[in-house]
Structure 1
């Protein structure tokens, strides 16, 4: 294997909380470490999800395209077979980026098995949420409304349309899309029990959402507002669609990407054989995984390292996983948030000013660092390195809390996240308390130059995580402990500390 500072040519960029950890900024860091070496980063692969995952890299906000787009010398931007992608959304992201000077289409490769999502999935997404709240009288799930879950439904039911279908004839695509639309309309009307007024309102909702999401492209003159007018897809009769217009627009958007559709698996194997590095960029995070997260507040895909191989279509082999977290926690949607900060807490007010979802713009809830969640992500998911972002945002707090365990009403301690969500919801956090600091740390680039309180808090985050991960298990050798490879002290790519002591030494400061 080509010499590399990482243990494998395959690197997984994963979240170990509930998303929004700052996974996008990891990619330029990995590229910098490998630049000029034979193991240079040549492929960034979007592994899972779709436009429901928001990444910010180099100040550029992305939902669907791989965040490697901001690194010019990454030769290949790939979408794996585990991704669901609306071809119109690809264009909505690519065209403004191209105008800004980023090469997108010349580097983009969409796997033939990547799933095609479209308007019908977004309508189903909204209808499902309406059914949940108005018919079942339950709390909303907190979906992004991007149609991701309905698109995966179709894969499970073997109704999927893939990007390979854009390479076949238009009649085949039109027939499959017509069948998809028929199923969606029947479900919206008869299963999810939406009336015509509600159905009509969905088109207005989508129009408003995309006008907001594409405001920059509109300001740049890349798009006309009519591009995002979803009402034109409504049919003349109740519960119908303008199927011809829908088919024509999606066929045009998809076939315009024909040169970008191919075999991702072959490319990855070639690049690996040449000694270069491939990074798998994951959306969401460990605790949003459809199987291991907190249902129903999960996504519809697998969000952790094993999915790298399924989405890429390559054999199982060693991979270097980097877990990403923040120095505090955030959540968006309707999750039970055990460590949520009191709204009266001054730190809460400050953090909420900077915490909005990249994908939807929704306000994020903020909370204390939950070492139980992160420790279990290590215990059951595994990672070799850790990146912790936004420790600078905690400057000015007199006291900082870390959740080290949970406790039930009887006082019994829980060292790990319960698998039973009904049990988890009844627990309360057990905190350790740590002194804060007042110094501005945004310009610090050496760990030793951080205020001692910031050093100790960093050490406590790591030690608490490790205590959970290895509870009841043999402790690994010091050299085998996960390393805090990057510590973010600001939003800019340069605002990062890379010389954190080895973990065995670091945790002595806690």
Structure 2
């Protein structure tokens, strides 16, 4: 049985904390897509830890953690992360496993990412410059290198062939930076990677399913960044939705049970791209400050706005979401009124569906206003403690989206979660 946790917005919904909260109830945590462009923030013993590639269950000693084949893996980043978690007494050689079909991010991929982004000028998509897109391009182009390849005797020959291709591509961009400076660190990280548990991922996880293990599939980024269904072309390079679990781990869809979607009580986005409810005034700035909205991976300030129920309903539909976690409700404690987007006005017509090409349209959000609650909710423990204005806000979202908010996160710590049912 597999439950899924994924983001329902443009990423940064607080997935790391939520996976960490649920992890004690599962035997296995598995990442199924994305790469070091993810930033899942946890607090361990009061210390902030940001994980980019390692599944968020790594701090639970009983939990098996799998990096699935749908992930693109940067060995340098992985080595640094492993060194970080080791400081907390975690032995990654005991509970971290990596699928051999997982594609590798090479130094050339990072250079290509930077060159491509620079060439776009004002049309930049807001890439994290981690080499994600070029790695997925080599994957679909059928000439990428995978984790299992590092154990082959001809790996260096194949690496140099791919490096030559990347060098030619960089010439097209007139990109002159020498990425070979990264190679020493890269090959050192590969030796470290060889010391970890490299497994046949699909047999590994299906074997755990047969044993009756409880598995939680952990998504990265958010549904509105999905390469097919997100705000294309301002999207990531992988399928961030539930369907990506099957291809990213090698499991059949009938094994998926609950799909737990995560949304903030408002909206944020990092980088370029459509954002209908974005606030450009002092309220948007106040949201950014109250929510400490700066990217966990890039450090960039996040764009902030009111919650978008048109997008949220769409994300719940394409993911088959069965339960919702709402995070950062406490950030709204001092705001009143609160606006909720219930439709888009496009060329004078009110629509309730996500349009084909959002970035080509002039979209005006249609709002419904709610009174704020002006209460410090971060200290509250139960649903009964919540002000009625909070439950009114959530009840409206439940009815509109058609999926219940079952958990309310009211602070960064693991125990700051209120069960709503």
Using the size of structure 1 for normalisation, the TM-score is 0.78
Q: CA deviation at 1:162?
A: 0.6
Superposed CA offset, 1:277-313 (max 9, x none): 1111111111101111112210001101111111211
Structure 1, unmatched stretches of 5+, are 1-8, 35-40, 204-232, 235-244, 467-481, 502-510
Partner of 1:310: 247
1:451 and 2:372 aligned: no
DSSP-derived class of the 1:69 partner: coil
Q: 1:369 aligns with which of 295, 307, 312?
A: 307
Q: Tell me if the contact between 1:116 and 1:162 (Cα under 8 Å) persists in the aligned partners.
A: yes
Q: CA deviation at 1:249?
A: 4.5
Residues 350 and 369 from structure 1, CA distance in 2 versus in 1: closer, same or farther, beyond 3 angstroms?
Answer: closer
Partner of 1:62: 51
DSSP-derived class of the 2:234 partner: coil
Q: CA deviation at 1:82?
A: 0.7
1:463 and 2:399 aligned: yes
Partner of 1:483: 404
Q: Tell me if the contact between 2:398 and 2:404 (Cα under 8 Å) persists in the aligned partners.
A: no
- Which has a greater percent of strand? 2
DSSP-derived class of the 1:149 partner: helix
Residues 249 and 25 from structure 1, CA distance in 2 versus in 1: closer, same or farther, beyond 3 angstroms?
Answer: closer
Residues 350 and 429 from structure 1, CA distance in 2 versus in 1: closer, same or farther, beyond 3 angstroms?
Answer: closer
Superposed CA offset, 1:312-356 (max 9, x none): 1122314121110000000010122110123222x6324335001
Question: How many pairs are equivalent?
Answer: 414
Q: Tell me if the contact between 2:324 and 2:406 (Cα under 8 Å) persists in the aligned partners.
A: yes
Q: 1:155 aligns with which of 132, 139, 145?
A: 139
DSSP-derived class of the 1:464 partner: helix
Partner of 1:130: 118
DSSP-derived class of the 2:251 partner: coil
Partner of 2:351: 414
Distance 1:60 1:251 in 2: 26
Distance 1:313 1:408 in 2: 41
1:25 and 2:6 aligned: no
Q: 2:293 aligns with which of 352, 355, 359?
A: 355
Taking the TM superposition and a 5 Å limit, the aligned residue runs for 1:202-281 are 233-234=180-181, 246=183, 249-258=185-194, 259-281=196-218
Partner of 1:497: 418
Distance 1:122 1:428 in 2: 37
Higher-Rg structure is 1
Partner of 1:193: 174
Distance 1:313 1:398 in 2: 47
Distance 1:287 1:398 in 2: 27
Q: CA deviation at 1:492?
A: 0.5
Partner of 2:363: 427
Superposed CA offset, 1:95-136 (max 9, x none): 021022223232111111000112111100000011111xxx
Distance 2:308 2:89 in 1: 40
Q: CA deviation at 1:30?
A: 2.2
Distance 1:342 1:289 in 2: 25
Distance 1:139 1:361 in 2: 21
DSSP-derived class of the 1:494 partner: coil
Partner of 1:297: 234
Distance 1:252 1:348 in 2: 43
Partner of 1:508: none
Q: 1:16 aligns with which of 8, 19, 42?
A: 8
DSSP-derived class of the 2:342 partner: strand
Partner of 1:176: 158
Aligned Cα root-mean-square deviation (Å)? 1.7
1:52 and 2:37 aligned: yes
Distance 2:285 2:386 in 1: 23
Q: Tell me if the contact between 1:163 and 1:254 (Cα under 8 Å) persists in the aligned partners.
A: no
Q: CA deviation at 1:422?
A: 4.5
Superposed CA offset, 1:478-502 (max 9, x none): xxxx33221001110111101x14x
